[in-house]
Chains A and B, each alone.
Chain A
Amino acid sequence: MADAAETVADRAAPRAPGAALVPRLPDARWRPAEVVFWLAVVAAYFVFPKHHVIGSQILITGLFALSLDLILGYAGIVSLGHAAFFGMGAYAAGLLAVHGWGEPVSGLAVAALAGAATGYLTSFLVVRGSDLARLMVTLGIGLMLFEAANQLPSITGGADGLSGVAMWKVLGAWSFGMTGSTAYVYSGVVLFALFVVARRLAASPFGLSLRGVRENVKRMPAIGAPVARRLVAVYTISAAMAGVAGGLLAQTTQFVGLDVFGFPRSADLMIMVVLGGAGRLYGGLVGAAVFMIAHHWLSDVNPIYWQFWLGLLLVLVVLFARGGILGAIEALRGRRGMQR
């Protein structure tokens, strides 16, 4: 985390010798590496035509990871219950379709609303308190919603899950087939649109003030930034995004299981963000892709080995590679830049 802070500070205020310190917003121009990243997402559609289903899952999880990165990587809120918003969005979109309105885009809007409402209401509990208290409160809210969904089978289908989610065609033109091609494109477009929003947000004065909160909670009020209000706002935005991700999953798989609220989903998500590199927006996307692909391969071999290697990987990342995959790449590039 300290490394990330340094790179952010360096990028935000490059100090030429003798130059006055001018506060600047982060550079918001699209870098070549970013363009390559998104072209790769498009290229994957054509290169792996048989893997559109897992591809769409990766995109959805990427969106979910992006939403967590906003509060974890930028605002520094450690949450072990982000699946609460994912689940609310999934059930909102799923229930809407079950009860006769299968239009996907408006379904996502409802999912976003469900996530945002839950996020807004719970944000007041999360904003106050220490890291440990936040950990417990987010965990508790997630577990409570899981239990609630489990105990209300008449609405949610309980442990059997919510089936009969019948979706209409996307924009009246493309139907969700078995190949997952529509799901891939649909999820990809939604992910990109929300990524642009998150990117804009992170580069704005609002995003900068969030980093300020992460770096020093006590100083922010002194420079006139209302910490609690900032955190409530970003928590709600993040929850809305997580809701959209949940809605996407419900719509593309046409099923909602209880596991959308599960603790493993929240824990895995945090692992993905940390693995990719928190506080970089792309970290969540890269982490989600690496995590999902590795999981896909390794758990076929043996689910127990997968858990062991995942644990080992976490320990190694924390000990030797703080900043995750992207942090390691940045460090490598920085070293080469020094040699030049």
Chain B
Amino acid sequence: MVGNFIGVLFDGVAYGSLLFVISIGLSVTMGLMNFVNLAHGAFAMVGGYACALLMTRAGMPFLATLPVAFVVAAVAGIALERTLYQRLYKATHLDQVMFTIGVVFMAVAATTWVFGPSQQPVRLPEFLRGQVKVAGVGFGAYRLFLVAVVAAITVALHLTMTRTRFGAQVRAAVDNPVAAAGLGIDVNRVFGVTFALGSGLAGLGGALGIDVLGLEPTFPLKYMVYFLLVVAIGGAGTIKGGLVAAMILGICDVAGKYYVPQIGSFIIYFLMVALMIAFPAGLYGRRS
């Protein structure tokens, strides 16, 4: 029973870490530009397809595809940001929502057209299959790998944000873009780089998560709510908030579906409404 509980908890943490990697870019860009981007999941899908196709068609090993997934999604992100998104920073939230829903629809339709509507099959390498016994409790090797990668990314992100010049610029721009620009920080450039980084991380998350989240053309729509939830609950613009929110969501979703399957995904929606009422600006949000 206890082992069972730990197993569920661990699965929840693994699921939550995936949500975190994919959504963190959305959280930071939303905090920076107050831009509601429903199309963030499309970048995760781009990374996922890059990984799946390289493995099945070019025969690349799983680990080698991960950096490629990051780069491809980051390039897609920066291209879209510089050409289209940039025009909409001053637009109303309604316009932003409509525009990004349009992008999602096009991404879903184009992916279906090119790669077909079915799930992309992925064969994980040998060392990521099976279980690892720790203190009598079995953990999936793949999920352990997930958690380890995400922990490393989180530490790297934290150090980047707190210890580097670029991180200081991002924090300044999130706090007060006008004052940051007045101090000579090129907010526009900071935002472009952050957007590319966030899209890349989403792509990496999409590639890492194929085995947990699945990969099909409707991916951006299916998980849109989850990515938005991480941002809305955590509060836009904070890494800590995103991490806490992603863990809450991951654990509650997995535990809910495991222990009370009859009410299905009801728990997650209830939790979301309850948290949004209690914290309209998110757990760590500064802006409302």
A117-175 contacts to B, CB under 8 A, are 125, 128-133, 135-137, 139-141, 143-144, 147-148, 150-151
Residue of B nearest to A309 (CB): B109
Asked whether, in the complex, the Cβ of B102 is within 8 Å of the Cβ of A314, the reply is: yes
Q: How far is the CB of A107 from chain B (nearest CB, A)?
A: 29
Do B99 and A151 have beta carbons less than 8 Å apart? no
- CB of B273 within 8 A of CB of A151, answer no
- A278-B94 in contact given A140-B276, A314-B101, A318-B88 (Cβ < 8 Å): yes
User: Which residues of chain B come closer than 8 Å to A310, judged between CB atoms?
Assistant: 102, 105
User: Please, which residues of chain A bring their CB within 8 A of the CB of B148?
Assistant: none
Q: In this assembly, does B156 line the interface, its C-beta being within 8 Å of a C-beta of chain A?
A: no
Check B98 against A314 for contact (C-beta < 8 Å): yes
Knowing A78-B93, A144-B269, A147-B266, the reply to whether A307 touches B99 (Cβ < 8 A) is no
When the two chains form their complex, are residues B264 and A136 in contact, meaning their CB atoms are under 8 A apart?
no
B98 to chain A, nearest CB (A): 5
Query: Which of B94, B99, B236, B269 sits near A132, CB closer than 8 Å?
Result: B236
Chain B residues with CB under 8 A of A141: 273
Chain A interface: which of B54-62, B69-77, B129-137, B225-233?
B225-233
B95 close to A322 (CB less than 8 A): yes
A1 touches B225 (CB 8 A): no
* Residue contact A130 to B288, C-beta cutoff 8 Å: yes
**Chain B residues with CB under 8 A of A144:** 266, 269-270, 273
Which A residues are in CB contact (< 8 Å) with B95?
Answer: 1, 318, 322
Set of chain A residues within 8 Å of B4, measured between Cβ atoms = none
Contact across chains for B110 and A308 when beta carbons are under 8 A apart? yes
A129: which B residues are within 8 A, CB to CB? 276, 280-281, 288
- Of the candidates A135, A150, A315, the one whose C-beta lies within 8 Å of that of B103 is A315
| Known contacts A130-B280, A135-B97, A136-B272; A147/B264 CB under 8 A | yes
Contact A307-B105, Cβ < 8 Å, known A135-B36, A139-B225, A315-B99: yes
Q: Which of A2, A125, A322 contacts B277 (CB 8 A)?
A: A125
Which single member of B87, B94, B272, B277 contacts A274 (CB below 8 Å)?
Answer: B94
Q: Which of B228, B265, B273, B281 contacts A125 (CB 8 A)?
A: B273
Interface string of B27-42 (1 = CB under 8 A from A): 0001000001000000
Please report the C-alpha to C-alpha distance between residue A76 and residue B30 in the assembled complex, in whole angstroms.
Answer: 20
- Decide if B263 is an interface residue (CB 8 Å cutoff): yes
Distance from A339 Cβ to chain B, minimum over Cβ atoms (Å): 29
Question: In the bound complex, how far is the Cα of B262 from the Cα of A136, in angstroms?
Answer: 24
Of A137, A308, A313, which contacts B273 at CB under 8 A? A137
User: Cβ of A311 and Cβ of B103 under 8 Å apart?
Assistant: yes
Q: Find out whether the CB atom of B106 lies under 8 angstroms from the CB atom of A308.
A: yes
- Give me 28 A-to-B residue pairs in the complex whose CB atoms sit less than 8 angstroms apart, sorted by A's number: A1-B95, A2-B92, A125-B276, A125-B277, A128-B280, A129-B288, A132-B231, A135-B36, A136-B228, A136-B272, A140-B270, A143-B265, A147-B263, A147-B264, A147-B269, A271-B98, A278-B94, A304-B113, A305-B109, A307-B105, A308-B113, A311-B103, A311-B108, A312-B102, A315-B102, A317-B98, A318-B88, A319-B84
List the 6 shortest-distance A-B pairs measured between CB atoms, nearest first: A311-B105, A314-B102, A308-B109, A311-B106, A129-B280, A315-B102
Known: A304-B109, A307-B106. 5 other contacts (CB 8 A): A133-B280, A135-B36, A304-B113, A314-B105, A318-B99
- Of B84, B91, B265, the contact of A147 (CB 8 Å cutoff): B265
Closest B residue by C-beta to A122: B273
- Measured in the bound complex, the distance between the Cα atoms of B99 and A318 in whole Å is 6
Contact yes or no, A78 B94, CB < 8 A: yes
A12 → chain B closest CB, angstroms: 20
B112 on the A face (CB < 8 A): yes
